[in-house]
Amino acid sequence: MNTGETIELTVTDVAHGGVFVGRIGAEDGRGGRVIFVPDAIPGETVTVRLSDTRKSSFWRGEVLAVSDASPHRRPHVWAAADLDVAPEDRPGGADFGHIELSHQRELKLHVLRDALSRFGGMGADAVAAATLQPAPSVRGADGEVVASESADGTGWRTRVSLHVDENGNVGPFAARSHRVIPVDALPLATAGVQRAAQTLQGRAPGRLDLVQPADGRVRVIARADDAKRRPTASKDPAREVVRERVGAREFLVDAGGFWQVHRLAAAALDGLVGDAIETLAPGGLDPEAQHLDLYGGVGLFAAALGDRGARRIVSVESDPRATDNASENIAEWLGARAETARVDRWLNNWNSRATDRDRERVARGIVVLDPPRSGAGREVVESLVAAAPAGIVYVACDPVALARDISTFRAAGYEPRSIRGVDLFPHSHHIETVVTLSR
């Protein structure tokens, strides 16, 4: 068959990356050619236009219509991305938006467990123990709920990237392309970001990041595509330092720097990482031990360590602006410092220079690591296990990269003690996971 041809496809599974799986030419559900499609749900029969038939192992397609719909199908949370829009005109970023919210979470947990089994080599019981929860509500000092997830999973994005094309169109990119799709709503964004997005006409071509920190005021940061329009460093709005808040604690962050995207995410992860630390060190962290916050950003998890008794903390982060902010954010712990380095190099350096006393301190300490989507990778994991910390808390935003790293940890004797997913990206396939490991 050729690209452009139309087929009927029974969708049997969900795969990593927000795509769904069916097979054609299969007998009794076995064999046949795998077809990956977006916008479907397992159990459905859909009409698919083949969009890429070049590979022998699998083809790709686009869903044009649903002939037998799942009971979990809903009108898309983002009308611009629904099936009545041509596939090439559907904006990206809400690839589970056509699925009832609790079923989205079941599918995400299935993808996480499948990755742990296939790439992490974990047994059925350990895999089944992995959980996924919605973002927990945030409570104030006297226990009252001050912020919670919306019932329909919308209105959470405090950070959104839009694009301006050469014709002045403003909007997100289409799914799987770099074509700007003008839209009249951004339902996953906070109300403030949505309002700010209505004011962007007349901007020069390039990327626009809309950022709403804790003060509620939305910053619009132009990320010039060409160096000519790049603002000077001192006037760069991306470098304005804003304040984010987790409970009573404030964090300085560059407006254009990394901060968790969901308005409840930093508090949710602080809570889950805190639980993991308390599991590993039920009586509180050893103040004489050396604790590490790897891929530390502005020190969110260094503070989680400090809040639970750590005194000697090193936060390692490659972005010097983030470590500048981290230094201030963790200044109240006199033994804490932020270092600008790549984690792989920092660990290699540490392993080659550590004294017996350094090693003894790390062996009693906890390491939190929160790598980017590609995961920590074998080299970093092997360097980390060579340092032999008492416990590890791994915060992951990609289940397959996580599972591969877990496999490396397990080969060195570190076993996952708990695996807790949290849905910090409703209506998209993304999932955040916190894993507690120890020997």
Nearest distance, CB of residue 258 and ligand SAM, angstroms: 4
Nearest distance, CB of residue 342 and ligand SAM, angstroms: 4
Closest chain position to ligand SAM (CB):
297
Nearest-angstrom CA–CA distance, 337 and 62: 50
Q: Which of 275, 319, 358, 360 binds ligand SAM (CB under 6 A)?
A: 319
Nearest-angstrom CA–CA distance, 351 and 219: 42
Contact predicate 52/3, CB 8 Å: yes
Closest by alpha carbon to 358, among 388, 332, 382, 383? 388
Give me the DSSP letters along 1-29.
--TT-EEEEEEEEEETTTEEEEEES-BTT
Nearest distance, CB of residue 105 and ligand SAM, angstroms: 21
Residues 334-353 that bind ligand SAM (CB under 6 A): 342-343
DSSP secondary-structure letter at 60? E
Contact predicate 120/407, CB 8 Å: yes
Is residue 296 a contact residue for ligand SAM (CB under 6 A)? yes
Tokens (6 digits) for 430: 């993304």
Stretch that binds ligand SAM, among 56-64, 152-160, 181-189, 313-321 (CB under 6 A): 313-321
List Cβ neighbours of 235 (8 Å cut-off, separation of 6 or more): none
Instruction: Please tell me whether 370 is known to bind a ligand.
Output: yes
Nearest-angstrom CA–CA distance, 410 and 130: 16
Nearest distance, CB of residue 187 and ligand SAM, angstroms: 24
Nearest distance, CB of residue 370 and ligand SAM, angstroms: 4
Nearer to ligand SAM, 93 or 371 (CB): 371
Q: Which of 114, 317, 398, 432 binds ligand SAM (CB under 6 A)?
A: 317
Q: Which of 81, 322, 419, 434 binds ligand SAM (CB under 6 A)?
A: 322
Nearer to ligand SAM, 120 or 299 (CB): 299
- CB-neighbour burial class of residue 40 (10 A; exposed 0-12, middle 13-18, buried 19+): buried
Q: Which of 126, 222, 300, 367 binds ligand SAM (CB under 6 A)?
A: 300
Contact predicate 429/111, CB 8 Å: yes
Instruction: Please tell me whether 254 is known to bind a ligand.
Output: no
Closest by alpha carbon to 259, among 314, 193, 316, 326? 326
Question: Site map for ligand SAM, 139-168, x if CB under 6 A?
Answer: ------------------------------
Question: Site map for ligand SAM, 228-267, x if CB under 6 A?
Answer: ------------------------------xxx-------
Nearer to ligand SAM, 258 or 425 (CB): 258
DSSP secondary-structure letter at 55? -
Instruction: Please tell me whether 414 is known to bind a ligand.
Output: no
Contact predicate 384/376, CB 8 Å: yes
Contact predicate 213/242, CB 8 Å: yes
Round the CA-based radius of gyration of the chain to a whole number and report it: 23
Nearest distance, CB of residue 435 and ligand SAM, angstroms: 14
Output the CA torsion 23→25→31→35 (10° steps).
-20
397 assigned to active site: yes
One-letter amino acid of 148: S
Ramachandran quadrant class, 184 (left: phi over 0; alpha: psi -120 to 50; beta: rest): alpha
Stretch that binds ligand SAM, among 56-64, 148-156, 284-292, 293-301 (CB under 6 A): 293-301
Is residue 318 a contact residue for ligand SAM (CB under 6 A)? yes
The partner residues of 49 in beta bridges, in order of sequence, read 6, 62
Q: Which of 205, 297, 391, 416 binds ligand SAM (CB under 6 A)?
A: 297
Stretch that binds ligand SAM, among 47-55, 197-205, 318-326, 428-436 (CB under 6 A): 318-326
Instruction: Please tell me whether 317 is known to bind a ligand.
Output: yes
Is residue 398 a contact residue for ligand SAM (CB under 6 A)? no
126, 366, 397, 435: which one is catalytic?
397
Residues contacting ligand SAM: total by CB under 6 A = 17
* Longest pairwise C-alpha distance within the chain: 67
Tokens (6 digits) for 285: 């962290």
Q: Which of 36, 119, 301, 350 binds ligand SAM (CB under 6 A)?
A: 301
Nearest-angstrom CA–CA distance, 124 and 281: 27
Nearest distance, CB of residue 251 and ligand SAM, angstroms: 8
- By annotation, the residues acting in catalysis are 397
Which residue ranges make up the annotated binding site? 260, 295, 317, 370
Binding residue ranges for S-adenosyl-L-methionine: 260, 295, 317, 370
Residues lying near ligand SAM in the complex (CB under 6 A) are found at 258-260, 295-297, 300-301, 316-319, 322, 342-343, 370, 372
